[in-house]
């Protein structure tokens, strides 16, 4: 009798222990769930469902959100508005391979010699590049701000490298921009052709600017890629993120 009583008490204890363990696991999961919800509420950049705001820091969901803008012009324009980026929406233009249903002109980006029409995702890329890379880099290396981002053009109705056949360039739809150099508020002039090589501040600026562009654009090509890019960075928003970053 005494023995049975002891076995009963032991099994009861084991039973209670396994019940306690289940309660503990449930409590831990609940705590993780609550903490996770609180985290994504405070970190929209890590929440794929939160609307993109270019003023938020970059998170692991940012790139996916930018890529989804390619197929959603209204949402892309809403992102610019939400982020306080000035722009003018333009009517569609062109036809065939060079049809440009998505065209806008940025309001006060320091592009020179003009602010050409471009797709909304390219505008988003330029904004991110300026905020996250160009401005902090210019301040860090030269203690000055960006006055000009010098470009060689956006739209060009042509195939890759101007060939007679083969794939069309992202320039054919205004979904790419070529950047030749920069001028800073203090007068410093930095250009890809003349300053890429070497170890100086300008070369460092260009290399880090290129690396930063890889975080803002789907494709980034620099002089490291080939001789055709010796004098400019080619930045575009094709459908494959970081297909090339060189
Ligand atoms: Zn290009």
* 135-191 confidence digits (pLDDT tens): 999 999 999 999 999 999 999 999 998 899 999 999 999 999 999 999 999 999 999
31 shares its domain with 151? no
181 shares its domain with 98? yes
198 shares its domain with 160? yes
Higher-pLDDT residue of 153, 9: 153
The answer to whether the CB of 175 falls within 8 A of the CB of 126 is: no
> How far apart are the CA of 79 and the centre of ligand 1, in A?
25
CA distance 88 to 107: 7
> How far apart are the CA of 224 and the centre of ligand 1, in A?
14
180 shares its domain with 214? yes
User: Residue 31: which domain range?
Assistant: 1-42
Q: Report pLDDT for 7.
A: 62
Number of domains making up the chain: 2
Q: Quick one: the chain helix, strand, coil %, rounded to 5?
A: 50, 20, 35
134 shares its domain with 21? no
35 shares its domain with 92? no
Q: Report pLDDT for 155.
A: 97
26 shares its domain with 119? no
> How far apart are the CA of 236 and the centre of ligand 1, in A?
7
224 shares its domain with 133? yes
Say whether pLDDT at 2 is over 60.
no
CA distance 222 to 233: 5
Say whether pLDDT at 18 is over 60.
yes
> How far apart are the CA of 205 and the centre of ligand 1, in A?
20
User: Which residues have a beta carbon within 5 Å of ligand 1, which is an ion?
Assistant: 176, 178, 234
Compute the half-sphere exposure of residue 104: CA atoms within 13 Å on the CB side of its CA: 24
Mean pLDDT of 220-231: 95
37 shares its domain with 55? no
Higher-pLDDT residue of 198, 39: 198
Say whether pLDDT at 3 is over 70.
no
Q: Report pLDDT for 243.
A: 64
**How does pLDDT run across 51-107, given as a tens digit for each residue?**
899 999 888 888 889 888 988 999 999 999 999 999 999 999 999 999 999 999 999
21 shares its domain with 103? no
24 shares its domain with 62? no
30 shares its domain with 139? no
- Going by pLDDT thresholds of 50, 70 and 90, the confidence category of residue 131 is very high
């Amino acid at each position: 009798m005494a023995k049975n009583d002891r076995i009963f008490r032991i099994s009861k204890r084991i039973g209670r222990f396994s019940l306690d363990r289940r309660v503990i696991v449930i409590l831990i999961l609940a705590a993780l769930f609550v903490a996770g919800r609180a985290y994504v509420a405070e970190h929209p950049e890590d929440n794929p469902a939160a609307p993109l705001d270019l003023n938020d820091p970059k998170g692991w969901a940012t790139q996916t959100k930018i890529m989804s803008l390619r197929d959603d012009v209204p949402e892309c324009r809403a992102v610019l508005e939400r982020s306080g980026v000035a722009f003018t929406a333009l009517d569609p233009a062109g036809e065939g391979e060079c049809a440009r249903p998505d065209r806008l002109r940025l309001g006060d980006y320091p592009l020179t010699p003009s602010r050409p029409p471009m797709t909304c995702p390219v505008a988003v890329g330029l904004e991110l590049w300026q905020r996250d890379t160009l401005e902090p880099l210019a301040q860090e290396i030269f203690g000055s701000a960006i006055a000009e981002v010098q470009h060689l053009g956006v739209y060009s109705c042509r195939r890759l490298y101007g060939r007679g056949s083969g794939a069309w360039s992202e320039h054919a739809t205004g979904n790419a921009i070529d950047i030749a150099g920069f001028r800073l508020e203090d007068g410093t002039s930095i250009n890809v052709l003349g300053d890429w090589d070497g170890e100086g501040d300008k070369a460092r600026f260009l290399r880090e600017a290129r690396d930063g562009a890889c975080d803002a654009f789907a494709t980034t090509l620099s002089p490291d890629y080939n001789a055709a890019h010796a004098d400019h960075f080619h930045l575009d928003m094709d459908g494959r993120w970081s297909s090339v970053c060189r």
